[in-house]
């Protein structure tokens, strides 16, 4: 058990049947009345962000989120299979838990699998990945002072905006958090 006065960014806890992570917190001590803790919380299962106020002495159960590096192996319909590098066990994860977190991940890439009490709720791909461009229109000269971009399809099927000088079969680095082009490799 932890009290609300122990809240810090990144702390996870159970509250009202859900698991939350503290995104922001502020200890408020008004001139009159009792102190309180104003928080912005992210539901780790659904991703929804809510604002709650707690008394500093209010107790909540701390939640332990398990993080494990696993290697993405393949997709079989609605199941995505990940290999545990220590035991070499194949772990199937449903399409609902994966969402669109694998749109920049290709086979044999290592991802962080997030689970709570054995239930997988999220997948974190590597922060930066290097992918080949499979399809894009050829760039044209002129009008480059404005930082013009064009759509490009990556080898995973994702479509992102790239600068005009990038061509098919180029290898580029992509930031998976924002889905933005970083540089040509």
User: Which of the four pLDDT bands, split at 50, 70 and 90, describes residue 177?
Assistant: confident
Instruction: For residue 146, report the phi and psi dihedrals to the nearest 5 degrees.
Output: -90, 0
What the block records as the tokens of 23 is 């995104």
- CATH number for the domain spanning 22: value is 2.30.30.30
What mean pLDDT do residues 147-158 have? 88
How high is the mean pLDDT of the chain? 87
- Which of 27, 45, 62 delimits the end of a domain? 62
- Residue 181 to residue 35: CA distance in whole angstroms: 46
pLDDT attached to residue 174? 92
State whether 44 and 79 are in the same domain: no
- Which of 42, 62, 82 delimits the end of a domain? 62
- Which of 25, 40, 62 delimits the end of a domain? 62
State whether 88 and 135 are in the same domain: no
What the block records as the tokens of 45 is 């299962």
State whether 73 and 115 are in the same domain: yes
Cβ neighbour number for residue 112 with a 10 Å cutoff? 13
State whether 54 and 18 are in the same domain: yes
What the block records as the tokens of 181 is 């082009």
pTM of the model: 0.72
User: Which of the four pLDDT bands, split at 50, 70 and 90, describes residue 154?
Assistant: very high
State whether 108 and 75 are in the same domain: yes
User: Which of the four pLDDT bands, split at 50, 70 and 90, describes residue 36?
Assistant: very high
Report the percent of the chain where pLDDT is more than 70.
96
State whether 13 and 56 are in the same domain: yes
pLDDT attached to residue 77? 84
SS3 166: coil
State whether 155 and 120 are in the same domain: no
* 143 pLDDT more than 60: no
Instruction: For residue 24, report the phi and psi dihedrals to the nearest 5 degrees.
Output: -140, 150
What mean pLDDT do residues 101-114 have? 88
- CATH number for the domain spanning 159: value is 2.40.50.140
Q: Do residues 12 and 45 touch, judged by C-beta distance below 8 A? A: no
Report the domain count for the chain: 3
- The whole domain housing 110 covers 66-124
* 60 pLDDT more than 80: yes
State whether 48 and 71 are in the same domain: no
Alpha helices in the chain (DSSP H): 95-98
Return the closest-CA partner of residue 119 out of 44, 7, 26.
44
pLDDT attached to residue 38? 93
What mean pLDDT do residues 87-109 have? 86
What mean pLDDT do residues 147-155 have? 88
State whether 71 and 120 are in the same domain: yes
């Amino acid at each position: 058990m932890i009290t609300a006065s122990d809240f810090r960014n990144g702390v996870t806890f159970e509250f009202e049947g859900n698991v939350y992570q503290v995104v922001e917190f502020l200890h408020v001590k008004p001139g009159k009345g009792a102190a309180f803790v104003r928080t912005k919380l992210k539901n780790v299962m659904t991703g929804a962000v809510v604002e709650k106020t707690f008394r500093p002495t209010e107790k909540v159960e701390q939640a332990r989120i398990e993080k494990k590096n696993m290697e993405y192996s393949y997709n079989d319909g609605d199941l995505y299979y990940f290999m545990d590098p220590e035991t070499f066990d194949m772990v199937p994860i449903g399409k609902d838990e994966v969402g669109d977190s694998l749109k920049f991940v290709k086979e044999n890439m290592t991802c962080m699998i997030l689970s709570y009490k054995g239930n997988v709720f999220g997948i974190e791909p590597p922060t930066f990945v290097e992918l080949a461009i499979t399809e894009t229109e050829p760039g044209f000269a002129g009008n480059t002072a404005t930082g013009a971009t064009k759509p490009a399809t990556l080898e995973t099927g994702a479509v992102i905006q790239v600068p005009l000088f990038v061509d098919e079969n180029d290898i580029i680095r992509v930031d998976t958090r924002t889905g933005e082009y970083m540089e040509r490799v």
